């Protein structure tokens, strides 16, 4: 088949592509990528191809300000401007959904949109808030991101960041909502030094091994490993915590909790946990025995070493989860505090949704299932929304059209999570094994 002229040269907006096939779309992206052009429009949707290298294309925020979508070559700033423009012009809050598989570049794109919005707002005001919102990122990444086989800085939680603007288009505050933090990696990496490491935990876990469980002093964190400058990262997080008004005491408490989690990871159990040798403190008690109350009588039973290890892991995961939630809450107290008392309708907002991307490892855990389910759900919403919008547009313009059929993943979603009986309901989150049903 003769190639359409648009496929030879490539196009900025794939709506104008002559070969509207999967191969045609991919060829266009490839052609552009070879020329160092990582962004391509498909109407109002932007496709970003991860270049895995730094391009000097993120300094000219002002160039995109006030320009319509499509006026300038495709760029992430053009999408950010489109959100900002539509919010102000139509007085309607906007939402930007960033989707793609793990390592595709979603978090980087979210940060670039935020960079654009804070730069535009910063021109109009002299507030601290933009800096505080930007500085929340390294903190969340330190605790909620991790190195995986697919991505050195993989988000292990979902994030919805809502940025609130006043009527002059100036940022007044923001609020972070976090979803489904992956907790199991904290236990695996503590015990086995799994390659999946959180940035803040990695120097600490190494320190524990090096110093054979002696109490951790902050200075042992100054280690350089795996091509990363951990000391620099650590200072960066510390300064971000200061900007978000975490006190020195709170910072020390965070370190203590991290150290406690790592020490707990080094606790091992030998055979049946004997009560006399072990029961010294409340924590030890709760890790090594189980009490059941029946008919007002309390029966205490020692746990097997395997059960005690599962119990220890559950405690560590719970501490990590609470710590993360507490950090997000504290950040929100700073970036959202002025807005909290005003009615929500006083502001317009731009929401940025950045969730963990689709993953498929050789061995997949319960958490991967949840991550992939969230991605399926988002895909369904996105496809449904786009087709609905497109067909509404046709209707408005009086264009004759055939109802467009698109592949729907509803069956997959129902199998996984439709009530009352679904795959999720059969799995116990803690053990990741099927629940044992009472007979
Ligand atoms: N626009 C970009 N320019 C340069 N490098 C980029 C860009 N986008 C992504 N990268 C590189 O790719 C890496 C992975 O990107 P990112 O963490 O944003 O992926 P992700 O889609 O959020 O993945 P996950 O779902 O695992 O969190 C980044 O650490 C960065 O090195």
Where are the domains positioned within the chain?
Answer: 364-439
Catalytic residue from among 162, 206, 359, 367: 359
Scan for tokens 């029961």, then name that residue.
279
Percent of the chain at pLDDT exceeding 70: 85
Q: Enumerate the known binding-site residues.
A: 100-107
Distance of CA 71 to the CA centre of its chain: 32
110 flagged as catalytic: no
Helix (H) or strand (E) holding 184: helix 184-192
The model's confidence at residue 52, banded by pLDDT at 50, 70 and 90, is: very high
Specify the higher pLDDT residue, 141 or 439.
141
- Is pLDDT at 134 greater than 90 in this prediction? yes
Kindly state if the Cβ of 70 falls inside 6 Å of ligand 1: no
Which of 239, 140, 149 has the alpha carbon at shortest distance from 194?
149
User: Is any ligand 1 atom within 6 A of the Cβ of residue 376?
Assistant: no
Work out whether strand 45-48 and strand 94-98 pair parallel, antiparallel, or are unpaired: unpaired
Cα dihedral value 190, 196, 199, 200, nearest 10 = -10
Q: Tokens 């807005």 label which residue? A: 339
Ligand 1 nearest-atom number relative to CA 148: 26
Average confidence score pLDDT of the chain = 83
* Distance separating alpha carbons of residues 124 and 163, to the nearest angstrom: 16
User: Using CB atoms within 10 A of its CB, is residue 130 exposed (0-12), middle (13-18) or buried (19+)?
Assistant: buried
Note the pLDDT of residue 284: 75
State yes or no: cis peptide before 420, omega within 30 of 0.
yes
Per-residue confidence band for 217, with pLDDT thresholds at 50, 70 and 90 = very low
Mean of the pLDDT values across residues 409-438? 73
Local structure of residue 182 (DSSP, 8 states):
-
Provide the CA 216 distance to its chain's centre, in angstroms: 29
Candidates 57, 82, 80; CA nearest to 69 is: 82
* Architecture of the domain whose range is 364-439: Up-down Bundle (1.20)
CB of residue 102 inside a 6 A radius of ligand 1: yes
For position 289, what pLDDT does the model report? 84
The string of DSSP letters for 333-389 reads HHHSHHHHTS-GGG-EEEEEEE-PPP---SS--HHHHHHHHHHHHHHHHHHHHHHHH
DSSP structure class, residue 435: P
Residue 148 bears catalytic tag: no
Distance between CA atoms of residues 138 and 373, nearest Å: 27
The residue whose CA is least distant from atom 14 of ligand 1 is: 103
| CA distance linking residue 438 with residue 253, whole number of Å | 42
The yes-or-no answer on residue 182 being catalytic is: no
Question: DSSP letter at 426?
Answer: G
Of the candidate ranges 235-249, 282-296, 341-355, the one whose mean pLDDT is the lowest: 282-296
Identify the CA nearest to 353 among candidates 152, 151, 178: 178
Given the cut 0.95, state whether the ipTM is greater than it: yes
The pLDDT, as a whole number, for residue 227 is: 59
For a mutational test of ligand 1's pocket, the pick from 38, 103, 106, i.e. the residue with the most ligand atoms closer than 8 A to its C-beta, is: 103
151 is known as an active-site residue: yes
Rounded Cα–Cα distance for residues 185 and 367 (Å): 10
Ligand 1: which of 53, 77, 105 to mutate, judged by most atoms within 8 Å of the beta carbon?
105
Confirm whether 155 is a catalytic residue.
yes
Per-residue confidence at 271, pLDDT binned at 50, 70, 90? low
Model confidence band, residue 273 (pLDDT cutoffs 50, 70, 90)? low
Q: Does pLDDT of 33 surpass 80?
A: yes
| CA nearest neighbour of 119 among 69, 169, 54, 49 | 169
**Residue range 79-119, pLDDT digits in tens:** 999 999 999 999 999 999 998 999 999 999 999 999 999 99
Place 429 in a pLDDT band, splitting at 50, 70 and 90: low
Dihedrals phi, psi of 12, to nearest 5 degrees: -70, -40
User: What is the spatial distance between Cα 169 and Cα 190, in angstroms, rounded to a whole number?
Assistant: 46
Record the pTM: 0.85
What pLDDT digit, counting tens, does each position of 161-182 carry?
Answer: 999 999 999 999 999 999 989 8
Using DSSP, state whether 220 is helix, strand or coil.
Answer: helix
């Amino acid at each position: 088949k003769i190639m359409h002229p648009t496929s030879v040269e490539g196009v900025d907006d794939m709506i104008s592509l002559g070969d509207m096939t999967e191969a045609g779309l991919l060829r266009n992206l490839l052609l552009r990528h070879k020329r160092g052009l990582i962004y391509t429009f498909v109407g109002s949707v932007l496709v970003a191809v991860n270049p895995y290298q730094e391009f000097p294309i993120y300094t000219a925020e002002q160039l995109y300000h006030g320009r319509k979508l499509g006026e300038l070559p495709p760029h992430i700033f053009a999408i950010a401007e489109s959100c900002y423009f539509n919010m102000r012009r139509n007085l309607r809050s906007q939402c930007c959904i960033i989707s793609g598989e793990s390592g595709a570049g979603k978090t980087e794109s979210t940060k670039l949109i935020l960079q654009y919005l804070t730069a535009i707002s910063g021109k109009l005001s002299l507030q601290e808030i933009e800096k505080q919102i930007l500085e929340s990122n390294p903190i969340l990444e330190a605790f909620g991101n991790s190195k995986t086989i697919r991505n050195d800085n993989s988000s292990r939680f979902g994030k919805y960041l809502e940025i609130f603007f006043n009527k002059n288009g100036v940022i007044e505050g923001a609020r972070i909502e976090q979803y489904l933090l992956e907790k199991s990696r904290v236990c695996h990496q503590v015990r086995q030094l799994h390659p999946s490491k959180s940035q803040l935990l990695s120097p600490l876990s190494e320190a524990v091994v090096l110093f054979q469980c002696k109490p951790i002093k902050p200075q042992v964190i100054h280690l350089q490993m795996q091509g990363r400058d951990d000391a620099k990262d650590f200072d960066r997080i510390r300064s971000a915590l200061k900007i978000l008004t975490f006190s020195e005491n709170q910072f020390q408490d965070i370190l203590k909790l991290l150290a406690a989690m790592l020490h707990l990871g080094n606790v091992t159990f030998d055979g049946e946990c004997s009560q006399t040798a072990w029961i010294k403190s409340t924590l030890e008690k709760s890790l090594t025995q189980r009490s059941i109350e029946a008919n007002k009588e309390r029966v205490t039973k020692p746990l097997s070493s395997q059960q005690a290890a599962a119990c220890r892991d559950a405690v560590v995961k719970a501490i990590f989860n609470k710590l993360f939630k507490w950090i997000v809450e504290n950040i929100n107290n700073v970036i959202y505090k002025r807005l909290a008392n005003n009615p929500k309708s006083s502001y317009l907002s731009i929401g940025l949704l950045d969730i963990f991307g689709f993953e498929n490892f050789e061995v997949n855990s319960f958490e991967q299932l949840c991550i992939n389910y969230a991605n399926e759900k988002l895909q369904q919403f996105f496809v449904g929304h786009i087709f609905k919008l497109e067909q509404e547009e046709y209707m408005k313009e009086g264009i004759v059209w055939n109802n467009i059929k698109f592949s729907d993943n509803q069956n997959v979603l129902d199998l996984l999570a439709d009530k009352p009986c679904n795959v999720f309901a059969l799995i116990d989150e803690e053990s990741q094994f099927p629940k044992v049903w009472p007979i």
